[in-house]
């Protein structure tokens, strides 16, 4: 039985990945940051809690000794580093913590593996945010596109990305970067734009709210489904050699289009409800993201279960029932 350790197991991606690995008969372990309300930390993994409850550890990416203790205890075959301060706008409010959790946190993990001589393969959750506003002439971002981060979050992710490459090349660690474009689901944090729009629209439909305040409506994103993407994380660690791969759908939509689609599916017009609130604008914006997966498709069979439309449908159905 293979052992996997997931940092951030209680996040959107961590929870889907844990399910996926349990289905593959992995012994799944996870790191959780302590919170004074423990239920908040396990909300996304309640359904698998009975199976993994003895494999959950309090640790923090900023506390190397806590990582050392977990890695020594679990001796994982595979480590998935998904923990982060993952909100781009918040990274402007908490730049130092964001850098610590993502940049130094990844270095802490790499040093634990190197110094203990562990043979664990490492997956790093790298991000399309690292590209900033660089776009190739064909409109896509790919592995060779220059990386010009425009937020503290993206700067921290780029540091972690480079550390993964550095430790792979310097020490021969099996360390892979998945450069994931935006990925969503009903489990997405409610302050990210997709879930914020779906929840806002459902509330308006049910008469629980009248309006929805958003930031920039003109940026475009390449939105895939988190469940499709966790499978890729695992596949990257099953390759003969570690590498760095873009994971995306290759299609982009604007935030405005997302509003239009969501409100229309609920029989409403977003223009009557959505307004712009400067509080949700960012000091610097990443305008357009669209990923090219040619390199990834060269090493694995790429087929996604969800489309943009079926993903929005799933999110709407979830919140129509829940609210
Ligand atoms: O949903 P978002 O907050 O995601 P963002 O900033 O693209 O980052 C997400 O994807 C990255 C991968 O590319 C991850 F690395 C990162 O951890 C995170 O998961 O915002 C998407 C777009 C932005 O252009 C933002 O300015 O939506 C725009 N937006 C407009 N109004 C808003 C809002 N974003 C949020 N969160 N809230 C708004 O009210």
Mean of pLDDT values over 107-116: 98
Helix axes 105-116, 152-171, angle to 10 degrees: 20
- Measured in angstroms, how far is the CA atom of residue 247 from the centroid of ligand 1? 17
- Measured in angstroms, how far is the CA atom of residue 88 from the centroid of ligand 1? 7
Report residue 102 as tokens: 């993502």
69 catalytic residue (yes or no): no
Q: What is the CA radius of gyration of the chain?
A: 19
299 phi-psi bin (left φ>0, alpha ψ -120 to 50, beta other) = alpha
Question: pLDDT tens for residues 287-299?
Answer: 999 999 999 999 9
C-alpha distance from residue 65 to each of 107, 111, 165, 186, 323 (Å): 13, 11, 23, 34, 41
Which of 124, 214, 221, 256, when mutated, tests ligand 1's pocket best, judged by the most ligand atoms within 8 Å of its CB? Answer: 221
Nearest CA to ligand 1 atom 24: 219
Nearest CA to ligand 1 atom 15: 127
Which three-class secondary structure state does DSSP give residue 287?
coil
In DSSP terms, 288 is beta-bridged to 220
- Measured in angstroms, how far is the CA atom of residue 117 from the centroid of ligand 1? 38
Q: How confident is the model at residue 320, as a pLDDT? A: 98
Residues composing the chain:
323
Mean of pLDDT values over 254-272: 98
Closest atom of ligand 1 to 255 CA is 27
Instruction: Tell me the C-alpha distance between 236 and 227, whole Å.
Output: 15
Contact (Cβ atoms closer than 8 angstroms) between residue 282 and residue 151:
yes
Residue 40 pLDDT level (bands cut at 50, 70, 90)? confident
Mean of the per-residue pLDDT values of the chain: 98
Q: How confident is the model at residue 218, as a pLDDT? A: 98
Asked if residue 254 has pLDDT above 90, the reply is yes
Candidate list 16, 26, 153, 306, residue with the active-site label: 153
Percent pLDDT > 90 in the chain is 99
Mean of pLDDT values over 221-246: 98
Residue 239 pLDDT level (bands cut at 50, 70, 90)? very high
CA neighbours closer than 13 Å in the CB half-sphere of residue 303: 1
C-alpha distance from residue 26 to each of 22, 48, 81, 153, 206 (Å): 5, 13, 17, 31, 42
Residue 64 pLDDT level (bands cut at 50, 70, 90)? very high
Question: pLDDT tens for residues 175-206?
Answer: 999 999 999 999 999 999 999 999 999 999 99
Q: How confident is the model at residue 150, as a pLDDT? A: 98
Residue 38 pLDDT level (bands cut at 50, 70, 90)? confident
Specify burial of residue 54 (Cβ count, 10 A radius: 0-12, 13-18, 19+): exposed
Instruction: Tell me the C-alpha distance between 35 and 308, whole Å.
Output: 33
The DSSP line for 208-245 is: S-S-EEES-SS-EE--EEHHHHHHHHHHHHHSSS--EE
DSSP 8-state class, residue 103:
I
Best CA proximity match to 113, nearest among 162, 78, 63, 146? 78
Percent pLDDT > 70 in the chain is 100
Ligand 1 first shell, C-beta below 6 A: 86, 88-89, 127-129, 181-182, 191-193, 196, 214-216, 219, 221, 255, 280, 282, 285, 289
- Measured in angstroms, how far is the CA atom of residue 198 from the centroid of ligand 1? 14
Closest atom of ligand 1 to 194 CA is 1
- Measured in angstroms, how far is the CA atom of residue 307 from the centroid of ligand 1? 19
Which of 12, 88, 131, when mutated, tests ligand 1's pocket best, judged by the most ligand atoms within 8 Å of its CB? Answer: 88
- Measured in angstroms, how far is the CA atom of residue 193 from the centroid of ligand 1? 6
Report residue 230 as tokens: 């966790």
Q: How confident is the model at residue 238, as a pLDDT? A: 98
129 catalytic residue (yes or no): yes
Residue 101 pLDDT level (bands cut at 50, 70, 90)? very high
Which of 184, 215, 256, 259, when mutated, tests ligand 1's pocket best, judged by the most ligand atoms within 8 Å of its CB? Answer: 215
Closest atom of ligand 1 to 289 CA is 13
Burial 266-284 (b: 16+ CB within 10 A, else e): beeebeebbeeeeeeeeee
153 catalytic residue (yes or no): yes
């Amino acid at each position: 039985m293979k052992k996997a350790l997931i940092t951030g197991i209680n996040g959107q991606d961590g929870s889907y990945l844990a399910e996926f690995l349990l289905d593959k008969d992995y012994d799944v372990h996870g790191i959780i940051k302590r919170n004074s309300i423990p239920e908040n930390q396990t909300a996304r993994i309640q359904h698998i809690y009975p199976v993994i409850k003895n494999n959950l550890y309090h640790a923090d990416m900023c506390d190397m000794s806590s990582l050392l203790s977990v890695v020594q205890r679990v001796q994982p075959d595979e480590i998935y580093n998904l923990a982060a301060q993952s909100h781009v706008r918040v990274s402007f409010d908490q730049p130092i913590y964001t850098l610590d959790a993502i940049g130094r946190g990844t270095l802490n993990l790499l040093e634990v593996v190197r110094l203990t001589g562990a043979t664990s393969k490492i997956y790093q959750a790298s991000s399309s945010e690292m590209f900033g506003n660089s776009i190739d002439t064909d409109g896509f971002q790919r592995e060779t596109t220059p990386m010009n981060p425009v937020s503290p979050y993206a700067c921290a992710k780029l540091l972690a990305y480079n550390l993964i490459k550095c430790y792979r090349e310097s020490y021969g660690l099996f360390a892979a970067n998945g450069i994931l474009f935006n990925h969503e689901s009903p489990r997405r944090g409610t302050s990210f734009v997709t879930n914020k729009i779906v929840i806002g629209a459902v509330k308006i439909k049910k008469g629980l709210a009248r309006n929805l305040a958003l930031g920039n409506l003109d940026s475009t994103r390449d939105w895939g489904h988190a469940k499709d993407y966790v499978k890729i994380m695992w596949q990257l660690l099953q390759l003969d050699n570690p590498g760095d791969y873009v994971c995306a759908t290759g299609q982009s939509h604007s935030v405005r289009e997302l509003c239009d689609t969501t409100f229309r599916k609920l029989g409403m017009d977003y223009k009557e409800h959505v307004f712009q609130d400067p509080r949700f604008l960012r000091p610097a914006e990443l305008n357009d993201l669209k990923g090219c997966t040619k390199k990834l498709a060269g090493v694995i069979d790429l087929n996604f279960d969800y489309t943009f439309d079926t993903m929005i449908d799933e999110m709407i159905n979830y919140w129509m029932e829940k609210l």
